[in-house]
Structure 1
Amino acid sequence: MTRLLFLFFTYAFLGWVLETVLVTLKQKKVVNRGFLNGPLCMIYGITAIILTVGLTSLKDNIFFLFVGSCIYATVTELLAGKFLEKYYHGRWWDYSKKKFNFDGYVCLDHSLFWGVLGVIVVKWLNPVLNRFYNANVPILMHTLMWILLAILVLDILGTTSVLLKANDQERYNESNKRIAKFTAGLRAKISSVVERRILRAYPLSPELQEKKGKSRVFAEGCGFYKLFWLFMVGGLIGDLVETVFCRITIGRWMSRSSVVWGPFSIVWGLGFALFTAILYQHRKKSDSFLFIAGTVLGGAFEYLCSVFTEMVFGTI
């Protein structure tokens, strides 16, 4: 844990230095980059930990290490951008004007840059940092890491407090919209009850019959409820598909559940929900686009799940 914290803080600081230097050269003035007040870019630290845990076994295969780094870093950057915009109401970066961008959060040239950094981190920098870590007194490193972690938590809380205060007016307006939406929903439910009563009493009323024929959609869009049920249904379907597949190819029945007792595959369920959340707004694009995106994301997701279960449960 403390070794991973050491790598996290080191790469978060180096990422902050890199971002600050690049933006300072571009804008001709010193700019403190990053979400926090301190000299840390958390996305660099988080990405470095994911690459260290997931791709260290590929350090002797430069090609797959590069490809894996591109994919994992790109997905991390995409999710981080969406998270910051959703909960802190702002875009910390925008690649909308660049070619081959995706939602403005990621783009091809930055993904390739992430791939190069991933190779450098996993193959060359990590061994150097590990030797440095091992050369110091363990209790000293443990104490320092936990102190830095406490400071980081305080920084996150302070930054969050300031951003939420700055967005008070926006949240107030949003609250008013929610009240108006609730009122409209309540009015619609009351109207629906009255309409059903009138339809029973006067079944030939053409206006109400037309309204009754219109479909009503539950949880419209891609919300929590749909993602939850995609997780549940996907986990069940995945387990059944793998069970039948093994029966046909191997000739015997075996349990294909992930880490639970019942017929349920957590990997399949997470895959259903995660890929839907990422690709939902692009559902009208071509089949080839969705196929390629699903192939890349699915392969990276399956590989990371395999590494995780082997590390945590000692199983393959």
Structure 2
Amino acid sequence: MAEFLWIFWSFSLLGWVLERLFAAVTRSPRRRRRCLLLLPLCPVYGLGMAAVLALPPSLRSEWPLYLWGGLTATAVEYIYHWWGETFLGVSFWDYTGVFGNFCGRVCLPFSLAWGLLLFPAVYLVTPPVVALADRVPVGVTWWLLLAFTADAVCSLRFLAVTHDLEALRAAVWPVSADR
């Protein structure tokens, strides 16, 4: 279980970093792309990688990884967005104007990008994360799980009550501090 948690947290953090870089490169006016109230984590990335790593080993090499991994990550992205809309009343992102989008929840360009990003994620990042998970004391993992769970519960409750993703993004730090 610790290995799964560290994979989830590591890729959620890397996803947050990727979101920040993407916002900076595209000069997005909305640079605050935080998915939880306090922690710099985007859980959709962690869930996506956990799902990809759950694929049978025969589907995690070369072209099958690109095809099946990309489809798996896209499916997780779609379900995550659908869940947010259905149960929290928020849209985490909107691909409506992007070529090849499906219901604004997923789109072809990002699905293709996820397939490419899986190669370094599976072959370069995952092995050290698994090695780290084996060395971290169980107590540390449990304390981090407690902190993550508290933040996730508070974030979900905040969104369920307000239905306002922008308010979540600005709830802790002032907007001017993000620029």
Superposed pair shares fold, TM > 0.5: yes
1:119 lines up with 2:119 in the alignment: yes
Q: Given the superposition, is the C-alpha separation of residues 28 and 64 from structure 1 closer, same or farther in structure 2, using an over 3 Å criterion?
A: closer
Which protein shows a greater Rg? Answer: 1
Structure 2 CA distance for aligned equivalents of residues 80 and 41 of structure 1: 11
Deviations 1:150-208 (A, max 9, x none): 111111221223223325xxxxxxxxxxxxxxxxxxxxxxxxxxxxxxxxxxxxxxxxx
Aligned to 2:47: 46
Contact kept? 1:55, 1:65, Cα under 8 Å:
no
1:156 lines up with 2:157 in the alignment: no
Structure 2 CA distance for aligned equivalents of residues 148 and 33 of structure 1: 22
Give 1:166's aligned amino acid: T
Q: Which has the higher contact order (CA 8 A, sep 6+)?
A: 2
Aligned to 2:140: 144
Aligned to 2:16: 16
Q: Given the superposition, is the C-alpha separation of residues 24 and 103 from structure 1 closer, same or farther in structure 2, using an over 3 Å criterion?
A: same
Structure 1 CA distance for aligned equivalents of residues 142 and 67 of structure 2: 33
Structure 2 CA distance for aligned equivalents of residues 166 and 119 of structure 1: 38
Give 2:42's aligned amino acid: C
Q: Given the superposition, is the C-alpha separation of residues 66 and 92 from structure 1 closer, same or farther in structure 2, using an over 3 Å criterion?
A: same
Give 2:13's aligned amino acid: F
Per residue, is there more helix in 1 or in 2? 1
Structure 2 CA distance for aligned equivalents of residues 39 and 26 of structure 1: 20
Give 1:130's aligned amino acid: V
Structure 1 CA distance for aligned equivalents of residues 27 and 56 of structure 2: 35
- Could you tell me which of 133, 154, 162 is aligned with 1:166? 162
Structure 2 CA distance for aligned equivalents of residues 21 and 30 of structure 1: 12
Contact kept? 1:56, 1:122, Cα under 8 Å:
no
Scaled by the length of structure 2, the TM-score of the pair is 0.81
Structure 2 CA distance for aligned equivalents of residues 93 and 55 of structure 1: 30
1:64 lines up with 2:56 in the alignment: no
Shift of 1:39: 0.3
Q: Given the superposition, is the C-alpha separation of residues 7 and 31 from structure 1 closer, same or farther in structure 2, using an over 3 Å criterion?
A: same
Deviations 1:214-250 (A, max 9, x none): xxxxxxxxxxxxxxxxxxxxxxxxxxxxxxxxxxxxx
Aligned to 1:101: 101
Shift of 1:30: 7.5
Contact kept? 2:59, 2:68, Cα under 8 Å:
no
Shift of 1:28: 5.9
In the alignment of these two chains, the number of paired residues is: 162
Shift of 1:55: 4.3
**What is the RMSD of the two structures over their aligned residues, measured on CA atoms?**
1.9
Structure 1 CA distance for aligned equivalents of residues 31 and 49 of structure 2: 23
Q: Given the superposition, is the C-alpha separation of residues 128 and 56 from structure 1 closer, same or farther in structure 2, using an over 3 Å criterion?
A: farther
Q: Give every structure 1 segment of 4 or more consecutive aligned residues whose post-TM-superposition deviation is greater than 6 Å.
A: none
Shift of 1:130: 2.3
Shift of 1:29: 6.3
Structure 2: tracts of 5 or more residues without a match: 164-179
Deviations 1:99-125 (A, max 9, x none): 111111111110011111222222232
Aligned to 1:6: 6
Give 1:86's aligned amino acid: T
Give 1:91's aligned amino acid: S
The secondary structure found in structure 2 opposite 1:27 is coil
Q: Name the % identity.
A: 27
